[in-house]
Structure 1
Amino acid sequence: MDQYLWVLKDKERDLIRELEPDRLAELDEDGLLALHKRIRRARNKHTTNYRRGAAERVEQAGGRGAAAAGSDKARGRAYVFEEALSLISAELARVAHEEAEALKDERLARAREGKWSGPGSDAPLDEGVSGGRMREHQQTTGGVKRDASSRAQGARRQAKRDSR
């Protein structure tokens, strides 16, 4: 990647400088996502420009091999951003995995303590539920009315059998 940095413009070089390890270490997952998006957009732009330019030269040069020489700078820019995208993707995957593991460990710790850590756990719980304890769940099929109807239906069947 370093061999092609000379073809980049100042703004593009600034974007590549953000991939330095000390700068990446300062970014959290959201910052890495924003940087990933910017690099992906630059990669798409330069890859598209390279392909269009090369495609235009093929007819004039008489073949793809002969036309390739005229696209060196554009190919270099596309290559730099492709490499940059792979670096930032790997770093983003590493950070996302670490954060997922930390969240998993936190939830497991809360579960071991017997505290509920589901959605809205920071919000006040319903009345009748002790603060922070797991709720006792009733096994239902989707609604109180439906469960009552099912029980009544079963009772009617049993009463019909009993009356025979």
Structure 2
Amino acid sequence: MNALLNSLTENELSLVRETERARLAELDEDGLVELHTRVRRARDKYVKLYRRRAAARIEEVGGRGRAYPKNTRNRTKAEVFEDALARVSARLAAAARASARALRAERLAEARNARNTAPPAAPAAERTDGRVAQRLDRRPDHLGLPKRHASTRAVGARRQARHDSR
């Protein structure tokens, strides 16, 4: 690992050092998001460089297998930043969960304090005077309705399948 870290520039090394566990514990969620962005950019840079140079070298040496031993510096830098990104992502996820729990607890406490403390109203009494509701139940009583609905849905599904297969 030290050999990998020795290949980094001073700025890159300081960025990797910021992802150590002790330093991550000092950061709040916004700081973690900013660090995550910086580390992701560095990782993306070296992954992109590695892929471009490896693709260009394939034609020179005649295959991916023979091109692999070359371009190791960009590959190892990408791996270093990938590990750093994983550490920051895990810490950021933990911080996000903690802040979500805190916000949820705060919201529930506010709702508890704001709720109505009056005694519940008595339930409405059912009608017993023999009157009938004004709205009629318009649902048909026959049993063939579910089959008809299923048939209609199947026709629509077949039509859609024909359309999608074009």
Structure 1 unaligned regions, length at least 5: 116-132, 134-164
Q: Which residue of 2 aligns with 1:19?
A: 19
Q: How many residues align?
A: 119
Which is greater in Rg?
2
Q: Which residue of 1 aligns with 2:51?
A: 51
Structure 2 unaligned regions, length at least 5: 117-166
CA shift at 1:3, angstroms? Answer: 5.3
Q: Which residue of 2 aligns with 1:103?
A: 103
- TM-score when normalising by structure 1: 0.67
- TM-score when normalising by structure 2: 0.66
Q: How does 1:113-128 map to 2 (within 5 A)?
A: 113-114=113-114
Q: Deviations over 1:88-135 (max 9, x none)?
A: 1111010000000001011111111126xxxxxxxxxxxxxxxxx8xx
Task: Give the Cα–Cα distance (whole angstroms) in 1 for the partners of residues 86 and 28 of structure 2.
Answer: 18
Letter in 2 for 1:99: S
Q: Deviations over 1:1-26 (max 9, x none)?
A: 65522221111000000011221111
Task: Give the Cα–Cα distance (whole angstroms) in 2 for the partners of residues 52 and 100 of structure 1.
Answer: 40
How has the CA–CA distance of structure 1 residues 55 and 101 changed in structure 2, closer, same or farther, with 3 Å as cutoff?
A: same
SS state at 2:19 partner? coil
Which fold has the larger relative contact order, with Cα–Cα distance below 8 Å and residues 6 or more apart in sequence?
Answer: 2
Task: Give the Cα–Cα distance (whole angstroms) in 2 for the partners of residues 43 and 25 of structure 1.
Answer: 22
Q: How does 1:16-95 map to 2 (within 5 A)?
A: 16-95=16-95
Letter in 1 for 2:59: E
Task: Give the Cα–Cα distance (whole angstroms) in 1 for the partners of residues 75 and 68 of structure 2.
Answer: 9
Q: Deviations over 1:43-70 (max 9, x none)?
A: 1111000011111111111110101111
Q: Structure 1 vs Structure 2: percent identity of aligned residues?
A: 51
Task: Give the Cα–Cα distance (whole angstroms) in 1 for the partners of residues 106 and 52 of structure 2.
Answer: 50
